[in-house]
Amino acid sequence: MPDTPDTPPRPAATGARARIPNALTILRLVLAGVFFGLLEVGLRGVDPWNEPDDRRTIVLFVALGLFVVAAVTDALDGYFARKWNAISKFGRVMDPFADKILVLGAFAYLAAPAFSIPGVHEVPDQQVSGVAPWMVVLILARELLVTSIRGLFESQGVDFSADLAGKLKMILQSLVIPVVLLLLAIADVSPGEPARWVIDIAIWLTVLVTLASCAPYILKGISSGRGLIHTP
């Protein structure tokens, strides 16, 4: 039950409860590193994407599991931090950092050559993940812009906590990445196939939602910072 003006504030968590949220954040960073390393090493030397490859299937399934577990730690550390009043300066910095490393890193790897089919003659390379490098640039630009806006205004005492659009963006990203990995592992992703359409639509939707989710931050920054615009 949340605190109200008529109830005393909850005491700060101590002991294990104070450490669990931060431990989950650190675990997420470790899982992200293992996830990236698995994709980097496990997809080397596999058969082309238009041919079946048992090792690639295993790698994708393990990577999917690692990502899901890492995403679950994101939900759990915030839940426990609020429930036990275990919010810390470390968590405020490292929790969003771990989120961005996991998600941005996943998109960067999905745009890497390991997920492409070399083109033939005039046919361009095909990114079987549906993620093009320019999409990663746009997603990264959104995160840098929002982080910069938040950092500026929070230093002036303005609350810039994540809003509903930002949370929905994170949920969508955390769902789409494992769905793409799953389809790449079990389905035919050749052009025209149903799985190909699902991947492309999901990735495009994710990019559009990610870009749109920065609008509330920009508008809030404009409305909150009219007096700060010309301040050095």
Tell me the whole-structure pTM to 2 decimals.
Answer: 0.86
* Digit-coded pLDDT (tens) for 141-194: 999 998 888 877 777 766 666 678 888 999 999 999 999 999 999 998 888 899
Q: All domains of the chain, ordered by start, with CATH?
A: 15-224 (1.20.120.1760)
Do 117 and 189 form a contact (C-beta atoms < 8 A)?
Answer: no
What would the pLDDT profile of 190-226 be if each residue is shown by its tens digit? 888 999 999 999 999 999 999 999 888 888 777 766 5
Average pLDDT over residues 9-19: 72
Q: Which residues of 68-79 are buried (b: 16+ CB within 10 A; e: fewer)?
A: eebbebbebbbe
Higher pLDDT, residue 89 or 179: 179
Determine contact, residues 3/10, Cβ cutoff 8 Å.
yes
39 close to 110: Cβ distance less than 8 angstroms: no
Return the higher-pLDDT residue of 103 and 221.
Answer: 103
| Residue 127 DSSP SS3 | strand
Token pair listed for 207: 């990019």
